[in-house]
Amino acid sequence: MKSALWYPYQQHKTSSEPFEVDSAEGCKLHIKDGRILIDGISSWWCTIHGYNHPKLNNAITEQLSKMGHVMLGGLTHKPAKDLADKLVEITPDGLNHVFFSDSGSVGMEVAMKLALQYFHNKGHVNKKKFIALKKGYHGDTCGVISIGDPDDGMHASFAGVFPKQFFVSVTSEKIDPEKWPLEEKIEELESIIGQNHREIAAMAVEPLMQGAGGFNFYPAEYLNRAYQLCQKYNILMIFDEIATGFGRTGTLFAANQCNFTPDILVLGKALTAGYSGHAATLTTGDVYDAFYSEKCEHAFMHGPTFMGNPLACAVALEGIKLFECDDYMAKIKAINHHLSSVLLPFKHTLVKNCRVLGATGVIEFHAPLNSKKVKDFAAEKGVWLRPFGNILYTTPPYIISQEELAQVLAVMTDLLNHIT
């Protein structure tokens, strides 16, 4: 398929036509051909309130009647200030400053630059590297590719182009948290940090759950121990909570399951509920203070044109209000219960394992799935799913009804009887 519109992660020559969506409402996508599909993956995990939400629509149109945009250089506005205050309030204690940007990837680029300049401003000029996780994903821009999975085919064409970083693994065949090889993994980390800490500015992780790298789960205790090592060796800890933030792992933030506050935490995706691209990079006072001085050159020289966009901030504020007022944590608990009851007992010769964390349910197969067949079978049954490799997952909108979720899960578990 050749087209003017260039699609993401797609080989146009061999891929099929995407479904054209006319409108969407609640958890449902209305396809142009008349089909209605339940979105089992929240449009890449961001539309946690579903589509076309009257309160979110209202918040954005009300803001639109005042102004759609204004630059944040030399000017400011209430939606940006209020959102920064709100994010400081709801994130773990100690994260007191917020830098906005226009996408998750850029939010992570900001985190990396902050970590590098933090040490530069303090005179530690050799700390220029990062330690990150194999199978990690932090976005598609050039800086963050360097801390994404080093063996990932997705970025293979750029191998050797970007700086080489340090990597450790958090994946294991033993997915049961009790059996997960904590000591072995910490030893691996300690050995690399011990030898290279003079060069390492920060450790960057997707806490508790790696998303695009295969929905790998690992325990909070690993992060607690990793943070102790970071403290010992003067390394900052960056939590990429672009996917895990806003309840996806069962607590408001994955950081809430750890016994420390990371130095830098990045939010995106669900932050603006899918209405607009935006991200927030939060830091502790310690990080902020390294930039706060009489010297011009200590300032953070970064400023996306659309940072703090008023429409994005207004919709984010309303989304957080909904999350709090409608007790989303209870909805997440109910989703977790439902996912666990169906997926955890599920067995099949082609299935390697099933796992659930918060409002995320995963079936891992022994071999890659035919994604077109999965997509077509799911659509026939009224569901939108998009597997990657041997992973089929659901990250439903939190407003999904029991019946809708049952329909998504029926497709996931019934699939093997139809497409193999």
Ligand X SMILES: *Cc1c(COP(=O)(O)O)cnc(C)c1O
Which residues are marked as active site? 9, 137, 240, 269
Interface with ligand X (CB under 6 A), residue total 15
Task: Build a one-symbol-per-residue string for 190-229: x at contacts with ligand X by CB under 6 A, - elsewhere.
Answer: ----------------x----xx-----------------
Residue 295 C-beta: closest distance to ligand X, Å = 32
Nearer to ligand X, 236 or 411 (CB): 236
CA distance 275 to 27: 14
- Position 138 contacts ligand X (CB under 6 A): yes
- Position 135 contacts ligand X (CB under 6 A): no
Residue 2 C-beta: closest distance to ligand X, Å = 25
- Position 304 contacts ligand X (CB under 6 A): no
Residue 255 C-beta: closest distance to ligand X, Å = 14
Of residues 370-409, those binding ligand X (CB under 6 A): none
Residue 168 C-beta: closest distance to ligand X, Å = 17
Among 243, 320, 399, 415, binds ligand X (CB under 6 A): 243
Nearer to ligand X, 263 or 404 (CB): 263
| Piece of the chain touching ligand X by CB under 6 A; list 99-107, 154-162, 163-171, 188-196 | 99-107
- Position 239 contacts ligand X (CB under 6 A): no
Nearer to ligand X, 117 or 360 (CB): 360
Residue 128 C-beta: closest distance to ligand X, Å = 22
Task: Build a one-symbol-per-residue string for 262-301: x at contacts with ligand X by CB under 6 A, - elsewhere.
Answer: ------xx--------------------------------
3-state secondary structure the chain: CCCCCCCCCCCCCCCCCCCCEEEEEECEEEECCCCEEEECCHHHHCCCCCECCHHHHHHHHHHHHHCCCCCCCCCCCHHHHHHHHHHHHHCCCCEEEEEEECCHHHHHHHHHHHHHHHHHHCCCCCCCEEEEECCCCCCCCHHHHCCCCCCCHHHHHHCCCCCCCEEECCCCCCCCCCCCCHHHHHHHHHHHHHHHCCCEEEEEECCCEECCCCCEECCHHHHHHHHHHHHHCCCEEEEECCCCCCCCCCCCCHHHHCCCCCCEEEECHHHHCCCCCCEEEEEEHHHHHCCCCCCHHHCCCCCCCCCCCHHHHHHHHHHHHHHHHCCHHHHHHHHHHHHHHHHCCCCCCCEEEEEEECCEEEEEECCCCCHHHHHHHHHHCCEECCCECCEEEECCCCCCCHHHHHHHHHHHHHCHHHHC
- Position 42 contacts ligand X (CB under 6 A): no
| Piece of the chain touching ligand X by CB under 6 A; list 2-10, 19-27, 164-172, 239-247 | 239-247
Among 101, 105, 121, 395, binds ligand X (CB under 6 A): 105
Among 42, 63, 101, 103, binds ligand X (CB under 6 A): 103
List of residues contacting ligand X (CB under 6 A): 103-105, 108, 137-139, 206, 211-212, 240, 242-243, 268-269
